[in-house]
């Protein structure tokens, strides 16, 4: 994990913050990301996530967040103020109908019904496909929608 506030070095995988009250999902995704060489940090809500970031002086490059959390978008906004290159993935429930437009995020993806190899590959591919540079406020069209 980057504790110095810097960007990951060449060959160094980004730190991914997982903010979701679904512990089964967070455990599965954290394990999948760790197995793929990423650093993952789990939190059940934005308050816990904020405490982890401050306590461990974490530099977060990617956030996977449940957009249904009461203060999800204000948390993203606050985090982007200090971590400009932040990328955000909204993880929505499988049964949520059509994927919504969320200008605050870089990608929207459904949580898998089954935690299997196909779901793992889908998530890893999405994370690897996120563009580098600044966050959603960069003016670039970097929206990725996955179903």
pLDDT, tens digit, 9 for 90 and up, residues 4-46: 444 444 456 789 999 999 999 999 999 999 999 999 999 999 9
Q: pLDDT value at position 5?
A: 44
pLDDT, tens digit, 9 for 90 and up, residues 80-126: 998 888 999 999 988 877 766 788 899 999 999 999 999 999 999 99
- Contacts of residue 7, defined as CB under 8 A and 6 or more positions apart, other chains included, come to 59, 61, 85
d(Cα 63, Cα 49) in Å, to the nearest integer?
10
- The answer as to whether 78 is a domain residue is yes
Q: Which domain holds residue 49?
A: 15-132
- The answer as to whether 53 is a domain residue is yes
- The answer as to whether 101 is a domain residue is yes
Q: pLDDT value at position 94?
A: 84
- The answer as to whether 7 is a domain residue is no
- Per the model's pLDDT, the better-predicted residue between 71 and 97 turns out to be 71
- The answer as to whether 88 is a domain residue is yes
Total domains, the chain: 1
Q: pLDDT value at position 61?
A: 94
d(Cα 44, Cα 24) in Å, to the nearest integer?
11
- The answer as to whether 8 is a domain residue is no
Q: Is the pLDDT of residue 1 over 50?
A: no
d(Cα 123, Cα 83) in Å, to the nearest integer?
22
- The answer as to whether 22 is a domain residue is yes
- The answer as to whether 143 is a domain residue is no
**CATH code where residue 37 lies:** 3.40.50.2300
């Amino acid at each position: 994990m980057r504790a110095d506030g810097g960007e990951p070095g060449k060959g160094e995988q980004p730190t991914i913050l997982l903010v979701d009250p679904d512990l089964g999902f967070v455990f599965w995704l954290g394990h999948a990301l760790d197995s793929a060489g990423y650093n993952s940090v789990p939190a059940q809500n934005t308050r816990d996530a904020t405490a982890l970031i401050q306590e461990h002086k974490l530099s977060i490059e990617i956030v996977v967040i449940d957009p249904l959390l009461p203060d999800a978008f204000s948390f993203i906004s606050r985090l982007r103020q200090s971590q400009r290159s932040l990328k955000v993935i909204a993880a929505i429930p499988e049964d949520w109908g059509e994927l919504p437009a969320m200008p605050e995020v870089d990608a929207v993806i459904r949580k898998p019904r089954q935690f299997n190899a196909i779901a793992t590959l889908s998530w890893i591919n999405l994370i690897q496909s996120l563009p580098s540079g600044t966050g959603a406020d960069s003016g670039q069209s970097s929206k990725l929608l996955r179903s």
